[in-house]
Structure 1
Amino acid sequence: MEILKLTDKNINDTHICCAISDKKCQIGYEKKKEWLKKEFKNGYNFQKVDVRGKVFIEYVTIENSWLPLIGTNFMVINCFWVSGQFKGMGNGKKLLEQCKADSKDMDGIVAVSSDKKRPFMTDPKFLKHHGFEIIDEAKPYFKLWGLKTNPNAEFPKFMKSAKSGKCVNNNGIVAFYSNTCPFTEYYTNELLRAYAKDKNIPIEINNIKSQEAGRNMPIPWIINSVFYKGELVSLEMKVEKHLDKLIG
């Protein structure tokens, strides 16, 4: 199975792995493609194993990353997913090797993950197995994993503003999402908004549309996050059960 790099020339005729057949997420799927087309101009990489499934890796230089990171000359893994029947076949290693090859002139690679495997995050066990180490932390459970290729380089860090784990607005539900993921548009704007209306809870939804907005996040995560009364509830798309536990 070969690795295929998406570009502005082939993206219209190629699927982007996630939400392939989920009609509910069609708008988000198209918005993700539009986001990719813009970011390709900034050197953004979307590499996938050429199969119909979720087997891909996305990465970009730290200078062009939307994540709240401080550092230079490192590659940042955005999304890294190998699922279903494609697990256990060496596809994850193959995709990581492609990222390493594209980072050969850089000082290393970093990835935002967690204390354990969480949805939409790179598996920390996989990162550790391939030589990554924890280089910074942010509340409540974020870990910045790093791998140096230049031993004299200084590892990147989380921005101080992204370490609190709390949202300034503590009135009801506050959600942040970006179109870096095709699922977010539907699950945030449709399901979460409907949930808040049904429970009669104030809701604020923020669509992260720029690097500046991403770097101003209170947590080092831009795909999807939901806060309740200022506290981070979940990074998952379906957060009703998480919220019900808090709301009662």
Structure 2
Amino acid sequence: IYCLWVSGKFKGHGYGKQLLEYVINDAKKKGKQGVCVISSKKKKSYLADKKFFLKYGFEVVDQIEDYELLSLSFNHQKPSFCKNVKQMVIDSNHITLYYSPQCPFTLNCINEIKEYIKDYNIQVDFIKVDTLEKAKNIPCIFNNWAVFKNGKYVSHILLNKKGFEKLLND
């Protein structure tokens, strides 16, 4: 699960539970081994609420720093983060953005940043994660977005123009 989000007036009506039940049933129908989601020890923006998933039988099966992999296994096997994910570094001094088009907000953020960097001649590497193979080889925690600066993982938080400016100045 990359994103499960119920907002505003729709919270508290059981929609999150219905969505999760749908995902679990769909995974079982398709013969999957289970369902995974990335969360964190403490609540973080743009990550799943750990308490919600624990309520439905998910368990923490791996962690990197404050990030946690939660799993609901159908066959008692426990997945883990890939070895390359645990590195959280890349060999580049450019700002590097890994992103997935699965989230409707990411493309708007990418467009804002691309427009901004045109005016300032800033080198940014945009890496679209649109295949399973690419997703398996990302060198960090990845939900729909990952940011590297000077080769180090910085954040999973979406950046718009204002957030990107702040990243440049940090």
Task: After superposition, give the CA deviation of every residue in 1:50-109 in whole Å (9 maximum; x if it has no partner).
Answer: xxxxxxxxxxxxxxxxxxxxxxxxxxx232111111101122122222233334465533
Q: Which has the higher strand share?
A: 1
Could you say which residue in structure 1 is the equivalent of 2:169?
Answer: 247
Could you say which residue in structure 1 is the equivalent of 2:22?
Answer: 98
- Equivalent residues, number: 167
2:37 pairs with 111, 130, 153, which one? 111
Unaligned runs of 5+ in 2: none
Instruction: Give the alignment's TM-score, normalised by structure 1.
Output: 0.59
Query: For 1:225 and 1:115, how far apart are their aligned partners in 2?
Result: 18
Partners of 2:27 and 2:35 within 8 A in 1: yes
1:178 pairs with 97, 100, 106, which one? 100
Could you say which residue in structure 2 is the equivalent of 1:187?
Answer: 109
Distance 1:95 1:245, change over 3 A: closer
Q: Does 1:84 align with 2:8?
A: yes
Task: After superposition, give the CA deviation of every residue in 1:8-60 in whole Å (9 maximum; x if it has no partner).
Answer: xxxxxxxxxxxxxxxxxxxxxxxxxxxxxxxxxxxxxxxxxxxxxxxxxxxxx
How many percent identity over aligned positions?
35
- Aligned ranges for residues 88-167 of structure 1 at < 5 Å? 88-104=12-28, 107-138=33-64, 140-150=65-75, 153-167=76-90
Distance 1:205 1:146, change over 3 A: same
Query: For 2:134 and 2:167, how far apart are their aligned partners in 1?
Result: 30
Query: For 1:141 and 1:167, how far apart are their aligned partners in 2?
Result: 20
Unaligned runs of 5+ in 1: 1-76
